[in-house]
Structure 1
Amino acid sequence: MSAEVAALRLQVARQVAHWQAAVTALADLENFASASAWANLEHQLGVAVRAHLRRSARRLHRAAGVLAAELAAAESPTELERVRRLVVRFRAMFLRVELAFDFYGDCVNSRTTPRLGALLRACDFLARSAMEQVLEPLGHPAPPVLTYVDKGLGASILRAGLRLWDRDSFSVAAAVKITRHNLSRPTAILHEAGHQAAFTLDWNGELADALRRELRPVAPGVADAWAGWASEIAGDAFAFAHAGYAAVAALHDVVAGEPDRVWMVPYGDPHPPAYLRVLLGAAMATRCYGSGPWNDLGQAWVAAHPVRTAPADVREFHVRSAALVPRIAEVCLYRPMRAFGDRPLVACVDPLRVRPDALACLARDAGTALFRSPYWVEREALRLLALSGYRAATEPARAAEITAQFEEWMIRLGGPVEAAA
């Protein structure tokens, strides 16, 4: 072997050895989240996530073995150069897989304490229960849910079944971000669960078509805009059906702090302008419940943001849209959809179960056991979320008491679990 070939082989061999070692380190999941954080996952969820990541690591390990075999067989400068190019391709593949490990590791590692672990397991349960109520009667299993805490104002979701960064695998769980400030009233997880359900049932496209048909005869430009926002409207309707006014008030409190987005949204953003989104939530409550605190919320919102202050180029659009919001609420909640077996959303999830007087009746009948009995906490978890959120929205003077009670029953709901091996 010439000195030139030996020198080239040494450089390539070092790179192959480096990436083989990197794959070995990647396969150790405690390099991404602590053992205690992994132990804070519910058993089925932990098994699913760990198995997914280990499959990805095994694919990388096999690819690294191919690299080593190619290097062992290479003799000429041309063959060694080919191996070097394969190393470059492998490095790109490794980095894509690593993104998934980092993402899931960050999600799991947010469960840093037993208390936070219990709260997030409860959030897992709530989001999955909301999906099960709609998906399972229609023959679709609800995916595992992995909730995690992060900074910011809004929640988000990495849907189960979505192709991941490595381009070869799919997300095995719906990973839902909960913002730290909203952990004491996490109705936003129901909105994100709605995204997963809408994706599974192909509801978004059907809702967009229904909005176009409903609105085009009276306002063609308005119809196309609302159809483009169908995916976010679906999420809002799903959350409202499960949590009632609690979801509307929580949404209001998030978007109320974004004055630059009251009237406008960035190009391509699927969210409606905040002005219209709040009015739609209030209209859903009015359609289902009649008069109530949502009317005060809507009136205060309009008073804080008079439409005359909207930019001139969108002012007329908001005037026309606001007049049509009750019809949009009707389509979202009461229009039969193929996605729901030719039934409306309210036939799958009855928002009357979280009407204020129904929640008051639940609290009266169950008494103190409602928040303390494992039977009630698990059986009525979604309605407890609606009740806690309603009280937080309408009794701000009792905020500390309501938050403490919320944490108490959430920690019971997400109590100790058998960790995944």
Structure 2
Amino acid sequence: MDTRRFLQTKMAGLAARMSRLARIDNAFVGLRPQDLPYAPSPEHFQVANQRLHKVEQRIRTRFAQLRHHWRDQPVQRTLIDMALVERELDRARRLFGMFYEVFAQRGTSFGPALSAHDAIAQDCYVAVREAAPRIFDGPLLKPVCYMEHGYSPATMRRGVALSRLLGEANPFPLIRIPWDRDQPWQSVFLHEVAHNLHADLGIWQENRQAVVRRVIGQLRDPFLATVYGRWHKEIFADLAAILLGGPAAAWGMADFLAHPAPRTMTYRPGGAHPTAYLRVYLLAEMMRRLGFTRDGTRLLRVWQTLYQRSGPNRIPPALVQSVPRLVPEVVDEIAFQTRRNLAQRALVDVIPFRRDDEEAIRDGAAALREGRSTGLPPRFVVSAAHYALESGRVRPTELAQRVTRELIALGRESAQAAAQAHGPARAGRLPPPGSTGSARPAMPSSSLSSSVRALAA
């Protein structure tokens, strides 16, 4: 076999692989009729196929150039052109693999739990649209959840360029749930949804700049300004989770953050996540600002019993000493100050949470203990399930099954509302405001002039 024949054979192999990853659908990923209630919407498949088709077109363009020039150019140039085709094939392989892995999980025993979490994520967006109509630019595809290894949930937000996809943009939010965290009372899930809201609301940079200015203005300390500027996204997600789920979300986050003292009380230089010990002070302050002072006080008392500030720790003294001064300032800046991209409203205005919401959640917890439907929007069901679990009067497995069934039913109602508004092919979009009854009317949140000064001492 001579060199040209060798290259021709290699090129034939490339041609045979070109169209194998160009399309994905329910049947291709192995979803059976009984799995379809848990499947992503037809529009999610449509968007996935549009992205695959775009990459397929790039593959064909590269291959056409290769086939046209390979006989008349140096062999090294031909190998480079083949590598360019391979690069696009790799892009298609990665993109197809991501969609396949995410969609195919709906045909497993995790399908119902994933569908339930889809309903929670969608409802968080609905809550914002109900309180702030037209805040989002155009129609939005709902987030999709999937299972993967890892200690904590994570998210890949809409439009972000993913290194795992060789820079391809993510077409819709993907929220990762660890295999063992599929129970629907995980408050940390609301935190992950909040990351997506943060991005889709377009206030990342505006928030960071405001936090840095606030810290510099208060303490004139560049180190503290840099740290809180780096932490702003995680703090936003924590505070937004409380607005989405109430005090139960704060308790759930504290549960997630509670580890042996060496981990909880260690500062990680350059890390995006606030030191866990300090993070709970922010949660408590948010509850106090919303009027849930008793919950905030109780949380800090539990936290200070678990972790002694005077004991060994690996937190820079400046960070610890700044808690009484900076925690109220940072919470106020992120949650209670207006933003241009929110049309001169604050976070508490676009995700309102009121005392009667908390009362409804408590009633929902009682309903879950008694085996009744809660009548709550999905995001509040998470908190009701947390309280029901906390009561110790219902078995976790039974509670998870009960809540999952309710969330799936709510998700189905929302999908039907979206289909009626946009057509069946657009059922993957968020339903129009007022069509589901899942979100409560907006009302300005209370702003209490309290801080953590006494409890931080």
Instruction: Map 1:26-37; keep pairs closer than 5 Å.
Output: 26-27=21-22, 29=24, 34-36=29-31
1:162 aligned partner: 160
- Contact map agreement 1:53 1:101 (CA 8 A) in 2: yes
**Given the alignment, which residue of 141, 146, 149 partners 2:144?**
146
**CA separation in 2, counterparts of 1:266 and 1:364?**
41
363 and 396 in structure 1: CA distance in 2 versus 1, 3 angstrom threshold: closer
Residue pair 2:369, 2:394 contacting (<8 A) in 1 also: no
Find the partner of 1:264 among 263, 266, 272. 266
2:323 corresponds in structure 1 to 321
Question: C-alpha separation between the residues in 2 aligned to 1:217 and 1:32?
Answer: 58
- Residue 395 of structure 1: which of 380, 391, 397 is its match? 391
Deviation at residue 323 of structure 1 after TM alignment = 4.8
| 2:122 equivalent to 1:128 | yes
**Equivalences for residues 247-262 of structure 1 within 5 A:** 247-257=249-259, 259-262=261-264
C-alpha offsets along residues 75-120 of structure 1, whole Å, 9 cap, x if unaligned?
A: 4xx434321221122223322332222222222233232x532332
Q: 2:238 is matched with which residue?
A: 236
Distance apart, 1:142 and its partner CA: 3.1
1:298-317 map, 5 Å? 298-311=300-313, 314-317=316-319
Q: Where does residue 216 of structure 1 map in the other structure?
A: 216
- 1:33 and 1:106 in contact (8 A); partners too: no
What residue is the counterpart of 1:3 in the other structure?
none
Asked if the contact 1:190/1:242 (under 8 Å) is kept, the reply is yes
From 268, 277, 291, the equivalent of 2:279 is 277
Question: Residues 310, 326 of structure 1: CA spacing in aligned structure 2 closer, same or farther, 3 A cutoff?
Answer: farther
1:381 matched to 2:378: yes
The 5 A counterparts of 1:14-29 are 14-27=9-22, 29=24
Q: 1:112 aligns with which of 100, 107, 114?
A: 107
Shift of the 32–270 alpha-carbon distance from structure 1 to 2, 3 Å rule, reads farther
Opposite residue 213 of structure 2, the aligned amino acid is R
Within 1, Cα distance between the matches of 2:121 and 2:242? 13
User: Using a 3 Å threshold, how does the CA distance of structure 1 residues 399 and 294 change in structure 2: closer, same or farther?
Assistant: farther
* 2:402 corresponds to which of 380, 402, 405: 405
Report the Cα offset of residue 41 of structure 1. 1.7
Aligned residue identity for 2:92: V
Instruction: Name the % identity.
Output: 19
Q: Which amino acid aligns with 1:216?
A: I
2:280–2:300 Cα contact (<8 Å) kept:
yes
> Shift in Å at residue 258 of structure 1?
6.3
Higher helix share: 1
Cα offset for 1:409? 0.9
Shift of 1:152: 2.1
Distance, in Å, in 1 between the alignment partners of 2:40 and 2:254 is 31
Could you list the per-position Cα deviations for residues 309-368 of structure 1 after superposition, in whole angstroms to 9, with x for gaps in the alignment? Answer: 343661342232255323322222211222221111111111216753242356789998
Q: Displacement, 1:262? A: 1.7
1:124 and 1:290 mapped to 2: Cα distance? 29
What is the TM-score with the length of structure 2 in the denominator? 0.77
Q: Which AA in structure 1 matches 2:150?
A: G
Quick one: structure 1 residues 116 and 420, their matched pair in 2 at CA, closer, same or farther if it must change by over 3 Å?
Answer: farther
2:16 matches 1:50: no
How many residue pairs were aligned? 405
Please, which of 69, 72, 79 is the counterpart of residue 74 of structure 2? 79
Correspondent of 2:134 among 137, 140, 145: 137
TM-score (norm 1): 0.83
Q: Matched residues in 2 for 1:322 and 1:32: separation?
A: 57
Q: Distance in 1 between matches of 2:190 and 2:356?
A: 14
Look up the equivalent residue of 1:212 and give its one-letter code. Answer: V
The equivalent residue for 2:200 is 200
Contact 1:201 1:339 in 2 (8 A): yes
**2:444 match:** none
Q: CA RMSD in A?
A: 3.4
Give the drift of 1:52.
2.0
How far 1:175 moved relative to its partner? Answer: 0.9
Whole-angstrom CA distance in 1 between matches of 2:61 and 2:372? 53
Q: Quote the Cα distance in structure 1 between the aligned partners of 2:142 and 2:102.
A: 14
User: CA–CA distance in 1 between the matches of 2:172 and 2:260?
Assistant: 31
Residues 161 and 407 (structure 1 numbering): CA distance in 2 closer, same or farther, change over 3 Å? same
Question: Which amino acid is 1:329 matched to?
Answer: V
Cα distance change on mapping 1:297 and 1:396 into 2, 3 Å: farther
User: Which residue identity lines up with residue 155 of structure 1 in the other structure?
Assistant: P
Matched residue, 1:103:
98
Preserved CA contact (<8 Å) 1:155 1:192: yes
More moved, 361-370 vs 177-186: 361-370
Q: Extract unaligned runs of 5+ from structure 2.
A: 417-423, 427-457
Q: CA 1:303/1:331 → structure 2, altered by over 3 Å: closer, same or farther?
A: same
Inter-CA distance 55–144: structure 2 relative to 1 (3 Å threshold): farther
Shift of 1:174: 0.6
Structure 2: how far apart are the matches of 1:42 and 1:64?
Answer: 33
Distance in 2 separating the partners of 1:306 and 1:152: 29
